């Protein structure tokens, strides 16, 4: 192996070592926590996350005891209970003619950008059964959860949101950040183990990098010995 190749290999190795801590910090727990608060306050009255337990979410996201207590009190739930909505099939049938679907796997099934776009595309439509419409789910049974924050739009006559009828409480950029938090949280809900994988990954890379270094040093020592005893060829 030439000197230049060895130098390059050592540089690559050092690069992996330096990259490891930044990879560990890649996920943003504060965004996930804000998304969790939004979900509880604006979605959980209708939607479940049946594959998640309150205690798991608290641990994974680092929710404070007070935040956890608020969530549990709101839904009269125990810490080890699944995040089930109090909405019953009978009430849902009366209100929306269908049960709001469980959202545990929503981002995995529909994709992140679909969910994000859906949540920001409601418009008022008196001809729709619920009074709201959405180009991504025509004649949607869900009322716009963000009419206050985002504002209210009318239709454009072609099944798309049209002009603004009422401004929202939030500026568009602030609303967009809020949607990011919520969709981040829904993505976590679909793949809760991704957080652990991401925090474990850098350590695995670090181990492999150290191991490669050691293996290389060992190889050099062995070959030196072989060459010295004249058994290399
Ligand atoms: C008042 C009850 C209610 C609230 C509050 C509500 N939803 Fe819904 N949601 C529904 C109903 C009903 C549907 C079924 C819509 C349909 O199929 O027409 C639905 C559908 C959805 C869908 C599409 C599911 C699919 O793939 O077909 C998503 C995503 C969703 N809701 C997310 C949310 C989020 C996120 C929130 C909180 C910001 C929320 N919902 C708040 C009742 C609600």
- d(C-alpha 135, C-alpha 161), whole Å: 8
Which of 39, 47, 98, 178 maximizes ligand 1 atoms within 8 Å of its Cβ, making it the mutation to test the pocket? 47
- Ligand 1 centroid to Cα of residue 89, in Å, is 14
Which of 96, 109, 142 maximizes ligand 1 atoms within 8 Å of its Cβ, making it the mutation to test the pocket? 142
Residue-number span of the structural domain to which 211 is assigned = 3-23+199-228
Return contacts of 171-177, CB within 8 angstroms, 24+ apart.
175/120, 175/146, 175/149, 175/150, 176/120
- d(C-alpha 82, C-alpha 227), whole Å: 65
- Ligand 1 centroid to Cα of residue 2, in Å, is 62
| pLDDT one-digit tens code per residue, 95-111 | 999 999 999 999 999 99
User: Would you say the CB of residue 45 lies under 6 angstroms from ligand 1?
Assistant: yes
Residue 95 belongs to a domain: no
Residue 224 belongs to a domain: yes
Q: Identify the pLDDT of residue 25.
A: 47
- d(C-alpha 44, C-alpha 72), whole Å: 12
Q: Identify the pLDDT of residue 26.
A: 46
User: How many structural domains is the chain composed of?
Assistant: 1
- What is the mean predicted confidence (pLDDT) over 34-52? 97
**pLDDT, mean over the chain:** 91
Structure tokens at 172: 């568009």
Q: Answer whether residue 21 shows pLDDT above 60.
A: no
**Ligand 1 atom nearest residue 140's Cα:** 18
Residue 203 belongs to a domain: yes
Which amino acid residue places its CA nearest to atom 29 of ligand 1?
A: 115
- d(C-alpha 89, C-alpha 204), whole Å: 46
Q: Identify the pLDDT of residue 27.
A: 61
Residue 189 belongs to a domain: no
Residue 165 belongs to a domain: no
């Amino acid at each position: 192996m030439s000197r230049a190749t060895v130098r390059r290999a050592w540089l690559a190795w050092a690069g992996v070592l330096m990259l490891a801590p930044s990879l560990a910090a890649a996920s943003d727990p504060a965004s996930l926590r804000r998304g969790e608060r939004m979900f509880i306050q604006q979605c959980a009255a209708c939607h479940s996350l049946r594959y998640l337990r309150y205690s798991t979410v608290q641990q994974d996201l680092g929710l404070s005891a007070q935040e956890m207590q608020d969530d549990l009190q709101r839904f009269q739930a125990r810490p080890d209970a699944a995040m089930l909505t109090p909405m019953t099939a009978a009430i849902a049938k009366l209100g929306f003619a269908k049960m709001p679907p469980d959202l545990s796997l929503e981002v995995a099934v529909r994709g992140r950008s679909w969910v994000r776009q859906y949540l920001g595309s409601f418009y008022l439509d008196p001809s729709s059964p619920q009074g709201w419409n959405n180009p991504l789910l025509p004649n949607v049974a869900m009322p716009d959860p963000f009419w206050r924050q985002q504002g209210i739009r009318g239709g454009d006559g072609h099944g798309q949101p049209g002009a603004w009828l009422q401004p929202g409480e939030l500026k568009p950029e602030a609303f967009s950040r809020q949607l990011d938090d919520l969709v981040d949280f829904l993505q976590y809900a679909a793949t809760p183990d991704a957080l652990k994988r991401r925090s474990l990954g850098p350590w695995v890379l670090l181990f492999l990098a150290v191991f490669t270094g050691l293996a290389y040093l060992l190889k050099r020592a062995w070959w030196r010995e072989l060459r010295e005893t004249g058994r290399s060829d």
